[in-house]
Amino acid sequence: MKRRKKIVPGSLMKALTWPGGGDPRPSDADRFIYHCTIQTLDGVVESTRSENGGRGTPIRHVLGKSKMIVGLLEGTLTSLKGEVAMMKPQLHYGEDDCPVSVAYDFPNDDELHFGIEMLDFFKAKARIDDLGVVKKVINEGLGWESPREPYEVTAWISAETGDGKLILSHMEGEPYFFTIVKSEVLKSLEMGIGTMACGEKAVVYVNSQYLTQSPLIPVIEGLEEVHFEVQLVHFIQDWAGLNFKSIMDEAEKIRLTAIQRRKNLNLLKLSMRSFGIRVGFWSIQHNHRRPL
């Protein structure tokens, strides 16, 4: 990144207030979530924290993709989860080609101190180019297939606002049931669920511009971001929603997938045999084991 070359020794100072934990640090394409308080020598200018006049909603960026001031970007790369630090970069909003805009009365020529609390970071799976819909995998699912149009889906779903307020929960009793493309849930949530495998648990982060009304969330006014925690229980093809051509197309996809999987299995067997590994499987029909 060309802008990073502007960082020279002494141009970024960082002091730890509270050390973080764990070994990994953020890397390119990671989504990281943090609170930020910007101060001058005269006091707080801007903050995400409610106690400092902010809304209480942390900032969410993707390293290498989101627009950031270069000094803060470099300081973030050395952070651990839970870390609280004060950063004083020479390159901030006063940088000539700074991609981040601020209000006309913002003191961008002053010495700025950034108080940063690193809440979390993880590998981001963006569903929209502008990062308006991002998925975080909590537990991997099983199998290779994901729900698509017009699958019937059963899932445990809950949702929180960006500041942690619970706004819906289908985590007890019966899981939530819906059919993809019937507008029974948000289109953005469908996009996230459309990348999940059966049994997978994930969080889908949806920005305000991709929040749409649906039976799941009938009121969206005033919401800046919603976090959907989803555990995919089951999904099945809704054949009743397809015409004859669509059914034949789906059947052809299944046939080609089965052929490809068989080819992959044969390649695996050949590879294992080349290393002298004998391959076998249990035949359920005849209740005995035979080599392949």
| pLDDT tens over the chain, length 292 residues | 555 656 666 678 889 999 988 878 888 888 889 999 999 989 999 999 999 999 888 998 888 788 888 878 788 888 999 999 999 887 778 777 777 888 888 888 888 899 999 999 988 777 677 788 889 999 999 888 889 887 899 999 999 998 889 999 999 889 999 998 888 999 999 999 999 999 999 999 998 889 988 899 888 888 888 999 999 999 987 656 556 666 667 667 767 777 877 777 777 777 667 666 555 544 334 444 444 4
Model pLDDT, residue 27: 84
Tell me the residue range of the domain where 256 lies: 243-291
Residues 11 and 116 reside in one and the same domain: yes
Q: Of 77, 104, 122, which closes a domain?
A: 122
CA distance 170 to 185: 13
The position carrying tokens 């939530």 is 176
> What CATH number does the domain containing 170 carry?
3.10.50.40
Residues 148 and 236 reside in one and the same domain: yes
In 3D space, the residue among 262, 263, 187 whose CA is nearest the CA of residue 228 turns out to be 187
Residues 189 and 224 reside in one and the same domain: yes
The separation between CA 78 and the C-alpha centre of its own chain, rounded to angstroms, equals 21
Model pLDDT, residue 44: 93
Domain tally, the chain: 3
Model pLDDT, residue 5: 59
CA dihedral 37, 35, 70, 130 (to 10 degrees): -130
Residues 13 and 86 reside in one and the same domain: yes
Residues 228 and 167 reside in one and the same domain: yes
Model pLDDT, residue 284: 38
Residues 136 and 93 reside in one and the same domain: no
AA letter at 9: P
Q: Of 122, 157, 174, which closes a domain?
A: 122
Residues 281 and 190 reside in one and the same domain: no
Q: What angle is formed at CA 123 by the lines to CA 48 and CA 17, rounded to 5 degrees? A: 40
Beta-bridge mates of residue 151 = 237
Q: Of 92, 122, 152, which closes a domain?
A: 122
In 3D space, the residue among 115, 76, 71 whose CA is nearest the CA of residue 93 turns out to be 71
Residues 70 and 141 reside in one and the same domain: no
Model pLDDT, residue 198: 93
Model pLDDT, residue 283: 38
Residues 222 and 139 reside in one and the same domain: yes
Residues 10 and 97 reside in one and the same domain: yes
Residues 15 and 94 reside in one and the same domain: yes
Model pLDDT, residue 106: 87
Residues 21 and 101 reside in one and the same domain: yes
